[in-house]
Structure 1
């Protein structure tokens, strides 16, 4: 009978997908398989994210960690440059600034350089954890420290140099990114063990 043939075909498809590890665990679709289903964003997105995370971990001892280590060194190194300029060269530039905002702009420059240094070192700490445990969260935190430095310190540098207060609206975004990055690093440290093991 045709109905029996269709049922047998569906059963065969389900068995084939199970044998290849492709069965979806969602209850309302687990009884039906179609090759087109994996092309739909709803079904393919979780797998794409998982594959991306696995790729990052597999490359942990290669280019990804080297790039992050270079990023940390650059962020920390540039903070030394900006800090030195703030201590020795910025005051001459500040002589042309309005008296009402001069001190605040100098203080913001100093804060930007200090926090940039802290988070450049934090990137290197996250890289060390990445290499030790293969942690995806540590990788996320490292990139977060870099992005936060760009937003937080970068906006303060721009405000100090130009006096444009609108740059101040970007600064809290950098702080928020840092909070997320530090939280990710804390979780990664809590999960770290003696043997390399992805989150």
Structure 2
């Protein structure tokens, strides 16, 4: 069973960061001729949100561990998978129904930020 702790989220963030570079380069070089500018914009949005939240997970991993911070990292991670993942798939497949997962990922990002805010306010 996967144990959710700082090390597991640091590993997730390291893998996510690695993939972000690959996915960003793939769009710039491999997808440039095969996707419309609209689809490339969707892809770029996915890369941006994945990258930003990957950095946040790494930063939170450096803080003193708490249940609130673990929950924050969990929600950020699920947000990356749902938000960015659905946008990547939408961009390359054109299946618009995948877009229904994007707002769920956004909600996950918001939950991650809420848990982080509560932790910061709680630690005076």
Structure number, greater radius of gyration: 1
Tell me by how many angstroms 1:176 deviates.
Answer: 0.4
Distance between the aligned counterparts of 2:13 and 2:116, measured in 1?
A: 15
Residue 72 of structure 2 corresponds to: 141
Question: Matched residue of 2:62: which SS?
Answer: helix
CA distance in 1, matches of 2:54, 2:61: 11
Q: Which has the higher contact order (CA 8 A, sep 6+)?
A: 2
Distance 1:187 1:76 in 2: 26
Q: Distance in 1 between matches of 2:115 and 2:5?
A: 18
Cα RMSD of the aligned pairs, angstroms, is 1.5
Structure 1 runs (4+) greater than 4 angstroms displaced: none
Q: Is the 8 A contact 1:147 1:174 kept in 2?
A: yes
How many residues end up aligned between the 2 structures? 122
For structure 1, list consecutive stretches of 5 or more residues without a partner in the other structure.
1-55, 57-62, 95-101, 194-199
1:185 corresponds to which residue? 116
Separation in 2, partners of 1:65, 1:91: 37
State the match for 2:105 in structure 1.
Answer: 174
Equivalent residue, structure 2, for 1:113? 47
How far does the alpha carbon of each residue in 1:142-199 deviate from its partner, in whole angstroms, 9 at most, with x for none? 0111100000000000000001111111100000010011010111122236xxxxxx
Tell me which of 60, 63, 85 is aligned to 1:154. Answer: 85
Aligned to 1:64: 5
- Give the equivalent residue in structure 1 for 2:57: 123
Give the Cα–Cα distance (whole angstroms) in 1 for the partners of residues 80 and 52 of structure 2.
9
For 1:172 and 1:151, how far apart are their aligned partners in 2?
A: 8
Partner of 1:9: none
TM-score, with structure 1 as normaliser:
0.58
